[in-house]
Amino acid sequence: MAENGQAKPVLVTTDWLAEHLGEDGVIVAEVDENPDLYEEGHIPSAVKLHWRDDLQDPVERDIVDKGTFERLLGERGIGNDTTIVVYGDKNNWFAAYAYWYVKIYGHGDVRILDGGRQKWIDEGREITTDVPSPASTTYKAKERDESIRAYRDQVRGWIGADDRALVDVRSPGEYAGDLIAPPGYEQEGAQRAGHIPTAESIPWASVVKDDGTFKSVDELRELYGSKGVTEEKSVTAYCRIGERSAHTWFVLRELLGYDDVRNYDGSWTEWGNLVDVPISK
């Protein structure tokens, strides 16, 4: 059991990171929704990861293949024994997405900076525009862990199952079908609006406090438990493209210790465009 009752030691504080910056075996990576933020200033020694350009296949709607992933991490100085600390903007929204990607290929020690980029800056800590040049190394990824990922046909078969829970982590407006996509993402929506039948609405942002740090384990258990999303069930989270739901996946699996949690990365851009699938409003 990690600190504060968390299931795994997967969060680090800004104090911890400040003490460990530059240490051998620790690589910090910034992953932002807005990729220009890194160039405006980042935590010293942090490398840049782009959630789409680096981690998604440029042709298929899929994760990069194993060889590309190995080169990506090796070029950034990340070995199999490296502690990776990811952080970013938007309350670590895309940092959690990167965390999930890295876990799919089986990296052991990955952590998230609690509070992310904004907390670091709000505390007046150092940022820099200097781009590090870590020594490249060899990385060997494991085979994909498909147990943490959901696909559309699986999701369709799980609708209404007593031993399963679907969690829609989008905004209430998206869940209700009033919006197809969040404001600012209108060109990235779907043909139809609404939610997957039987899915509970638990917006991803409800798990963090005003300063961007995660709520306590007790608060999180109450939040999900009140909607019937309990640890004895197999849980699948979804959003628009799988990034906000990766944040929820992190909370349920890594912080609360739920055994069976999957992220449906096809999410609403896939489900809302499929022929012959049910939608609720």
Domains 3-144 and 147-271 share a fold: yes
CATH number of 3-144: 3.40.250.10
Length of the chain: 281
For the record, the structure tokens of 98 come out as 């990167």
pLDDT band at 32 (very low <50, low <70, confident <90, very high): very high
For the chain, the domains span: 3-144, 147-271
Quick: pLDDT tens for 178-208. 998 888 877 677 999 999 999 999 999 999 9
- Of 119, 94, 120, 98, the C-alpha closest to 107 is 98
Q: Does domain 147-271 have CATH number 3.40.250.10?
A: yes
237 noted as active-site residue: no
In tens, the pLDDT along 117-136 reads 999 999 999 999 999 999 99
Q: pTM for this one? A: 0.96
Model confidence band, residue 5 (pLDDT cutoffs 50, 70, 90): confident
Return the closest-CA partner of residue 241 out of 26, 46, 28, 97: 97
**Is the separation of the CB atoms in 138 and 78 below 8 Å?**
no
* Spatial contact of 253 and 226, defined as CB atoms under 8 Å apart: no
Closest alpha carbon to 41 in 117, 123, 120, 128 = 128
Q: Structure tokens of 126?
A: 């150092």
Indicate the pLDDT class of residue 25, thresholds 50, 70 and 90.
Answer: very high
d(CA 150, CA 103): 14
Please pick, among 98, 239, 241, 256, the residue that the annotation labels catalytic. Answer: 239
DSSP letter for 208, please: B
Residue of 161, 125, 141 whose CA lies nearest to 15: 125
At residue 2 the predicted structure's pLDDT band, cuts being 50, 70 and 90, is: low
Tokens of 156: 């369709």
At 145-171, the pLDDT tens digits run: 999 999 999 999 999 999 999 999 999
